[in-house]
Every structure is written in C-alpha cells, then in structure tokens.
Structure 1
Amino acid sequence: MKKYQHIFFDLDRTLWDFDTNSRASIDYLIDKYDLEKKGVPSKDEFWDLYTEINNGLWDKYRKGTIRKAELKVLRYELVLRRFGIFNKEMAEIFGREYLEVLPTKNSVFPGTHELLEYLKPKYPMHIITNGFEEVQEKKMELAGLNSFFNVVITSEAAGVRKPDEGIFRYAMEQTGAEPESSLMIGDDLPVDILGAKDFGMDQIYFNPQRLIHSENITYEVETLLEIKNIL
C-alpha cells in the first residue's frame, strides 16, 4: 500500500453535510419571512427550485463567469421571481442571512469524526474548499472539525477554484506537500477527483449515491469509514 505524507479533504458534501445543513437554513428563512403566505407553495418546491438554480450559478462561479457578490443574491432573486415575489430587497436579506445561519448548522456525514480520529495520529490533514471563506471556518468550528486539520486552503486565498490545478499547487506550497505523496478525498468527481488526478495526486472518490462513471480513479468508497481500509 502506498504511503502518503499528506491527506487533503474537500469539506462540503464530503465531511460537512451541506445539503442537510443548507435545507435546514432555507426552511428557517422561509418560516422567518412567512414566504408560504406570500406565494411559495411549499418548502419542498422552494428547495427543489433553489437547488437547480444554485447549482447552475455555482457552475458559473467556478468558471469565473459570475462574481461571488452576484451569486449570493441572484440565486434567491431568481427563485423568488419564479414564485411571483419580485422583491430584490428580500433576495438581499436572504443572501445575507443564509450565510449567517448556514455555518451554525453542524450535521456531518456518518463516520466523519471516527474517521478523522483514526487518521489524525497517522497523517497531516488539510482542507481544500471552493466554499466562501467567511463561512468555512465557522462551519468547521461548530461541527467539531477544526482540531483535525493543519491548513485550510480556500479558493479565495488561492485565487482559483477546483478543479484548476492552481489551487492544488497553492495547497502544496502552503503545506509543504508533494503531489506524488498526497491523497485527495472528495465527493465531486470532475472538481475534486479529476482535478487532483490531473495534478498528479492519488484520489479517493466519496460516492455515497453510487453515481455511475467510467473514470479511472485511485479509490472509490460509498461510506467514509471504508477509508479506514485504505489508510
């Protein structure tokens, strides 16, 4: 078995359960502003539309065709419009308060803490994330993750986002790691896994939904605790 010197994790949807925490935050704001009495048919319909629109805008953000400030507000403005709520001020409130509420939620994937406790004595561990810098630290703190990681590399600090090789190069510089002795663990095949592979790192694809693909990757797991059998 190959001996790795550094382990890099993605954060959202790999350790920190983004979808559960995001849904709880959205539901809270729908209740707070009584949107189900203002044209939103249900929390489920809001969430489904929000997810579709947000994913599309995040794809543009990763490609650099939309700015962070635009993304924060536009995702809510577009959703609200679809429900007949033409209120940019409400979209701005949602954009601001969502990022205040979101990091206070602390759901993580099953096995997260057990895996990290197992790995901590064996490897230096780091985070590479495309998430907004101002919320990632608080997310990690409130979910009990901070103490496991040496360095948190954000796309904003690196100036580029995964899968751009620049963020992986920046991560190597910040941690003193080398690609050939480093391992990337993440849930996003094109962003985390193929980005790391193209940079020369081994990868573990965390694929709890068993998504079908034809990529040649180093390892693949359905649960985090399976990683103990690899490392």
Structure 2
Amino acid sequence: MKTYRHLFFDLDHTLWDFEANADETLRHLFTQHELSRHGITAEDFIRVYSDINHGLWRLYQGGKITQQQLRVTRFPRTFVKLGLQETDSPEAISAQFTEILPQKTAVFPYTYEVLDYLRDKGYALHLITNGFKDIQYVKLNSSRLTDYFQEIVTSECCGHLKPDARIFQHALERTGATPVESLMIGDNLECDVLGAFNAGIDQVYFNPDKRRHFAQTTYEISCLSELKSIL
C-alpha cells in the first residue's frame, strides 16, 4: 500500500452535505415567499430546482456558462419548469438562497471524527473545490471545518475547474506535494476521480448512495469512516 502524506478533499457532497443544506434553505424560502399560492408543493419546488441546478452546474463546469449566468437563471427556469412564469420567481430569491445556504451546517456522518483522526495521524489535509470562493469560505466557517485544512484551492483561485488536471497541478504546487504521495477524496466520478487520475493522483470515490458505475477508482467508500481502513 502506498504511503500518502497529502490528502485532498472535495467539499460539497463529500464533507458538507449540500443536499440536506439546500433542502432546508429551499423550504425556508418556499415558506417565506408563500410559493404554495401558485399551487405547487415544497417537494416539487425542491425537486425541480435540484434538477435545474445540477444541469446548470454541468454547463458551468464545462465552461458553457458563467457563474453569474448560473446564479441568475436557475430560479426563473425552475418556475417555468413548474408551469409558471419567470416573473413568478421572486426578485430577491436568488440572492437570498446564496446568502442563506452557506450558513447551514449539515455535514456527512463521521466528518469531524475522520478529519480529527487523519490530522492526528499527521496527514496534511487540503481542499480542492469547484464551488465559488466567497460561498465556500462561509460554508467552511459555518460548519467549523476551516481549521482542518492547510490549503484551500478553489477553481476561482487558479482559473481552472475540476476535472481539468491544471487545478490539481496548481494544488500540488501550492502544497509542495507530489502526485505519488497524494490522495483525492470526492463524490464526483468525473471531477474528482477522473480529474485526479489524469493528474497522476490516486483517488477515493465517496459513494454514499452506492450508485452502480463502471469507473476504475483506486478506492471506493460509502461512509467517511471507511477512510480509517485505507489511511
């Protein structure tokens, strides 16, 4: 087994529970703006928004749209998909979502225990995230994760998005790590696993839903606690 020294984590969907935090935020906004008056349910609102948001994120990660386009179009598109008008989307809802969401604190089970364990074992812990810099730092501070990480690399900092190998190379340069002593832990087969592979870095695919796939990964886990058996 290789001896790793530098561990690179993804943030959203790996440590910080994006779905749980987004669900709570969207329910709050649904109630605040009395969206039930349009004849829709909170469940439909959340489901459709999630589908729209995931699709727009794929476009953003592929360089097809900008950060601003993602932010300003996801709610109007949600309302249209629900059979309503773009104008039914409250003017402030996008800004409110962006402000409230990162203040939520839900993380995946064993997040703190595992990070404590890894830090105590002497590993250097870092983050590589495609999330927007201003949002990610609020998430980290709100959920008490900031102090675990020596380096926090965002796509905005280096100008490249995962799975582009250049963001991983940038992270290696920032940390003084080499590929052979590094390990990437993330939930996305393309961004985290393939991106790290292309940069010569071993990977841990975090697959809590145990989704079936045919990708080749160095390791695969369904619970963060399983990292203890690898490291």
Please report the TM-score for the alignment, with normalisation by the length of structure 1. Answer: 0.96
Query: How far 1:40 sits from its partner (Å)?
Result: 4.7
Extract structure 1 runs of 4+ deviating beyond 4 A. Answer: none
Q: What do residues 155-205 of structure 1 show as CA deviations (whole Å, max 9, x unaligned)?
A: 111101000011101111111111111000001111101110111001111
User: Percent identical across equivalent pairs?
Assistant: 42
| Whole-angstrom distance in 2 between the partners of 1:89 and 1:40 | 14
Kindly indicate whether the alpha-carbon contact (under 8 Å) linking 1:40 and 1:46 is maintained by their aligned counterparts in 2.
no
The secondary structure found in structure 1 opposite 2:215 is coil
**What is aligned with 1:158?**
158
- Taking the aligned partners of 1:132 and 1:40, their CA distance within structure 2 comes to 33
Match of 1:31, SS? helix
Matched ranges for 1:82-93 at <5 A: 82-83=81-82, 84-87=84-87, 90=90, 92-93=91-92
Alpha-carbon distance in structure 2 between the residues aligned to 1:54 and 1:28: 18
The 1-side partners of 2:140 and 2:218 are apart by 27
Amino acid corresponding to residue 52 of structure 2 in structure 1: I
TM-score, normalised by the number of residues in structure 2: 0.96
Would the aligned equivalents of 2:75 and 2:89 in 1 still touch at CA under 8 Å?
A: no
Q: What is residue 74 of structure 2 aligned with on the other side? A: 75
For residues 66 and 192 of structure 1, the distance between their equivalents in structure 2, rounded to whole angstroms, comes to: 20
TM-aligned CA deviation for residue 86 of structure 1: 2.7
Render the CA deviation track for 1:95-134: whole Å, top value 9, x for unaligned. Answer: 1111100011100000000000000122110000011111
Partner-residue secondary structure (3-state), 1:125: strand
Deviates more, 1:92-101 or 1:121-130: 92-101
Structure 1 residue identity aligned to 2:170: Y
Unaligned runs of 5+ in 1: none
CA RMSD of aligned residues (A): 1.2
Residue of structure 1 equivalent to 2:98: 99
- Look up the equivalent residue of 1:195 and give its one-letter code: G
Q: Cα deviations across residues 37-92 of structure 1 (Å, max 9, x unaligned)?
A: 1x1510100111111111111000001110111100101011122331331772x5
**Number of residues of Structure 1 aligned to a counterpart in Structure 2:** 229
